[in-house]
Structure 1
Amino acid sequence: MPDIIIEINGLTKTYGSKTAVKSMDLHIRRGEIVGLIGKNGAGKSTLLKMIAGLIHPTSGELHFFNRASANGQSFFERMGVLIEQAGLYSHYSAFENLKLLAIAYGLPDANTQINKLLKTVGLEDIGSVKVKSFSLGMKQRLGIAAALLGSPDVLLLDEPINGLDPQGIVEIRALIQELNKNGLTILISSHILEELSKIATQYAIIHKGEMVEVISADELLHKCEERIELKLEKAEAAIPVLERELKIADYKVFDANTLYVYDPGAEIRQISKTLIEHGVGIDSIYKYKQSLEQYFLARTEQAGERHA
């Protein structure tokens, strides 16, 4: 699978008797924005730290760029990481902070790249202003710039919008989208599904250290979009009536007795009346709408019930 940039198989991390991450599987393709979604303490940060090489897994396998993580450390240089605090020097300017990091990384003649990064994150015009005077959003943007030093292929972000005001959230979101548009693969954690839904191409739902579900953005939106649900004696019997009599083409047969209608112009009363007139037995018919948050809560509650 040449487009897989990170492959996680059975990854586990324990601290004594406590299991922080349990047997997780996840495949991340090049160019994706993968959202790790879960409540605080679900294991998102622990997973990111293992991917970043900051902590060692207890068991399981990590493969980066088709190479096992145990084979060397060079692939970690191809990752940009912002987990928890950015580790900025408050009495230095944005440029000085990045310059110190570039020296520590051994990056020669980094001034051009630093100026380009400051422009990328919208901090090119702040001059010698010290970081201690920055807003939280400015510090987050500088932290992302620091993570981008060395031109990584993958960017790991842990709760980058946590604590930001609405304007700061918009700025970080726009920055992430721009970086992804330029080819960067991004793995981002958050407990705010509504915000992730504006940028993620894939979601990994985590609950109490376990991977509950991995689902694409298109699949998630399809599950949550408004629809009319019909419980029928036989779903197939309704299809010709929907197509010929009601001119409804946007529907899905879920199982032998369940059919979903997605057509926005469809009306429950007309569907019910027409099906009955053509001898199709209806057990129930109702309009269904689920928010992204409701879907997330339902999935995590189901996971909790399995382990109760």
Structure 2
Amino acid sequence: MSDCIIEMSGLTKRYKSKTAVLNADLKIFKGEIVGLIGKNGAGKSTLLKMIGGLIYPTSGELHFFNRSSGENQSFFERMGVLIENAGLYPHYSAYENLNLLAMAYGLKDRNKQIEKLLQLVGLDHKNTAKVKSYSMGMKQRLGIAIALLGSPDVLILDEPINGLDPEGIVEIRQLILELNKDGLTIIISSHFLEELSKIATKYAIIHQGEIVEVISREELLQKCEERIEIGVDEAKTAIPVLERELQISKYKVAYGQTLYVYDRNIEIRQITKVLVDHGVSVDSIYKHKQSLEQYFLERTESAGDHYD
């Protein structure tokens, strides 16, 4: 049985003359934390709303648990969704907010579930303070608790750290990681790749409504890892020399004529000297370090502008 719980193929959403999402293809597997990264207005919220059943796609296919979403709308009940504002009642306490929704959902043993959820997100169920007095971080945690009512299989969070102070960001990050430990699949959008890199296991980069790249956490970190890039006539002639003389073991060959060396205890001057001494011509050599933000900007800029 496949662990793919959400699959979208050619998912598109148009509003009159504006295309918000175009031909989105993405597979999401059980237990993943998928980071949807894109600039403001890139289409992140629209895509999440389609996944969460808040809006219908104009075209394309959306499958949950290997079945079409059109076959059974109850699949959307297995989604916990926090997009934009949580829709809190400001003059009620956290417990009262959850209790109202739990009654509307017809949940059994709601008192026990509410207490458990509030404890999970770090709020006191006995606190009678009105939500209007809460900090932004506390409101976000309550919003996540509301999204978790009914024990969903997938949690969808749209920009959950927007407007939070550093302490609030850390609290939400720890909460997301804790929820994921129990096997909850999480889809989280943000335009802060640096923060997403601390929690996501996979990234989908979206630009002007199109998913331009899907990349795993390991692949992304490797692309941005500090390395020495060496340009030679043939990499296969340089490798034995570097292995033998400098005991270099962490390297990668790119395009046949470029070597990426990841051994951090090796200096550029050492590599240059050894190669030249053994008759290997060095065309270029430099240290490369790309930030996650730089990588994101390169991918979105290379995608260009496709439509109005």
TM bin, normalised by shorter chain, reads over 0.9
Alignment of structure 1 residues 124-139 onto 2, 5 Å: 124=124, 127-139=127-139
List alignment gaps of at least 5 residues for structure 1.
none
Matched, 1:74 2:78: no
Instruction: Return the letter of the residue paired with 2:72.
Output: G
In structure 2, the residue corresponding to 1:80 is in which secondary structure? Answer: strand
Q: How does 1:1-308 map to 2 (within 5 A)?
A: 2-124=2-124, 127-304=127-304
**Equivalent residues of 1:234, 1:281 under 8 A apart:** no
Distance 1:267 1:307, change over 3 A: farther
Deviations 1:269-300 (A, max 9, x none): 11011111111121100000000001101111
CA distance in 2, matches of 1:54, 1:29: 21
* Local SS of the residue matching 1:117: helix
Q: Helix, strand or coil: the match of 1:71?
A: coil
State how many pairs are aligned. Answer: 308
Task: Calculate percent identity across the aligned residue pairs.
Answer: 74
| TM-score of the pair, normalised by structure 2 | 0.98
Q: What secondary structure does 2:260 align onto?
A: strand
Q: Which runs of 4+ in 1 moved over 6 A?
A: 305-308
Checking the alignment, whether the CA contact within 8 Å between 2:8 and 2:62 is kept in structure 1 is yes
Q: Deviations over 1:105-144 (max 9, x none)?
A: 1112211000000000011255211111111111100000
Compute the TM-score of the two structures, normalised by the length of structure 1: 0.98
Amino acid in the other structure paired with 1:269: R
State whether residues 140 and 160 of structure 1, in contact with CA within 8 Å, keep that contact through their aligned partners in structure 2.
yes
User: What amino acid is the match of 2:53?
Assistant: G
Secondary structure of 1:157's aligned partner: strand
Q: CA deviation at 1:307?
A: 7.2
Q: Which runs of 5+ in 2 are unaligned?
A: none
Using the alignment, how far apart are the partners of 2:102 and 2:125 within structure 1?
20
RMSD, aligned α-carbons: 1.3
Q: Whole-Å Cα distance in 2 between the matches of residues 269 and 180 of structure 1?
A: 45
Q: Secondary structure of 2:160's match?
A: coil
Distance in 2 between residues matched to 1:21 and 1:306, nearest whole Å: 12
